[in-house]
Structure 1
């Protein structure tokens, strides 16, 4: 071994530690309970159990918590697509934490690892790890969509998110994940009860704007990992199988323009072509106009030309 090799720093492992039994039980509960609510949604909506107040609250909290993930967890914390002033940075961490997708540090570590090894060994949720045959594709879809979440290994945050571990504000928000998760359910219920002046209004708001909203947001988010790495258009040169899926664009706040994102991960706008709706990019634009965000990495014609196949 050469002297240079002896002094070269060792590469930190991809994973560090394993989830405890209690943590794993919470993961399963966060996945299964909203899913059961989603399964019960159709019969409950058939003539009773759904009011216009429930619809308004569900849509509002879906977009609020979803944008907390896409604008906050994803474009800001993971990829530094823009810089945010401290109050906005903390707010984005808090709101993203209410989406039932884990704490901000773990979420960012997983996603940075995904980009580092996209669709290769080491990627925590690629659908292409098991082969290309029909059975392998079914297994890959399950794994990339939700199966990977059930794994016990914990992505090494010291390797993939050291900047967040060094940020006392973000560490504090990360530690509040469980209370923020509970608030994500209780606040819609409280509003529903106060507006309707009834316990029944609180209960239906908890069901629709809490559990059903979480389930729909879960599956839209997970579809970016699964569907958007299996099917769709690939107009930009990326190192992996990421693709654009137009029919998910509005529900995913622009995240399903996934091919451009993997071709240029730090770009603040994913839907860069005419007609490609990107709600997250519009929110970032508003933050910039208000002076709350700066150093936004908007796409340029030259950058896009270099990425076009």
Structure 2
């Protein structure tokens, strides 16, 4: 899930000092960053693998499931509504408190600093499935072995690439905002909050270290691993398979079975056909919880100038004709 050419401008480098994450100097700092990234990927993934036998043998409490679900969808909507549809694409405008809240919620997903996330995804849209795309599964060719290698690259491998997206080029608007720049720089702090909140609640609720440890396993590690792989699947799976009812210049597809867990992001074909649209699931039966929440934000006045789907605009992008029954809003 990523930003589009309609939102990327070739802006001159501003006078602001570069973000630390964009200017890590020296091989030692780069190596430390990659080791840290590897730990954040592997440790939750091991927990995810261990979750099934542990749940089968020992069970899982309703408290653990509640914490895992709540933290999952807070972080997921922070990414889909905040990092993606709002900060990356400008699908709507937000009042200042909502703007900062979305920045913090997205940071709780532990997917990297806000400014870096947006820069990478805007670059993805500029070169989607072509030379320059940071994470296209078609990077190595169209044969089966090449696609298998490309899927791994699009899913995880690209994050270890030595080439860094220039943040001053792709996200100058966010760098100029002191509050957003601060949230982005505080990524380690929000990561700590994200990982420590579930065991704190679990420990206090059960008044035991066992309750805290169980909540950390399910509400922190398993939750982060699941959210990571769902998010990365939008980069990999949704650019390799799925239906393509709308015209786009890449291979983005709709993958229905990821819709609920991705909070509507897996209706990826429409997104690449109309990147600034606030709703991705525009056809009948396409669940999009992110669009629903944006609609609620609009109703209470927290969001405005929302770019809802327009039938005429979608008709022009439809493969083979008009789009029947597309609602003007949500």
TM bucket normalised to smaller: over 0.9
Distance 1:49 1:257 in 2: 34
Of 197, 210, 223, the residue aligned with 1:213 is 223
Deviation at 1:49, TM superposition (A): 5.5
Tell me the SS of whatever aligns to 1:153: coil
In structure 2, list runs of 5 or more residues that go unmatched.
1-9, 14-21, 320-330
Deviation at 1:44, TM superposition (A): 1.3
RMSD: 1.5
Find the counterpart in structure 1 of residue 174 from structure 2.
Answer: 164
Find the counterpart in structure 2 of residue 51 from structure 1.
Answer: 61
Find the counterpart in structure 2 of residue 92 from structure 1.
Answer: 102
TM-score (norm 2): 0.88
Find the counterpart in structure 1 of residue 116 from structure 2.
Answer: 106
Partners of 1:17 and 1:154 within 8 A in 2:
no
5 Å-filtered alignment, 1:69-80, equals 69-80=79-90
TM-score (norm 1): 0.94
Partners of 1:249 and 1:277 within 8 A in 2:
yes
Of 118, 122, 127, the residue aligned with 1:117 is 127
CA distances 1:77-135 after superposition (whole Å, capped 9, x unpaired): 00000111111100100110111100100000000000000000100000011111111
Deviation at 1:29, TM superposition (A): 1.1
In structure 1, list runs of 5 or more residues that go unmatched.
1-8
Find the counterpart in structure 1 of residue 305 from structure 2.
Answer: 295
Partners of 1:72 and 1:92 within 8 A in 2:
yes
Find the counterpart in structure 2 of residue 257 from structure 1.
Answer: 267
Tell me the SS of whatever aligns to 2:164: strand
Tell me the SS of whatever aligns to 1:297: coil
- The answer to whether structure 1 residue 64 and structure 2 residue 74 are counterparts is yes
Find the counterpart in structure 1 of residue 282 from structure 2.
Answer: 272
Tell me the SS of whatever aligns to 2:58: coil
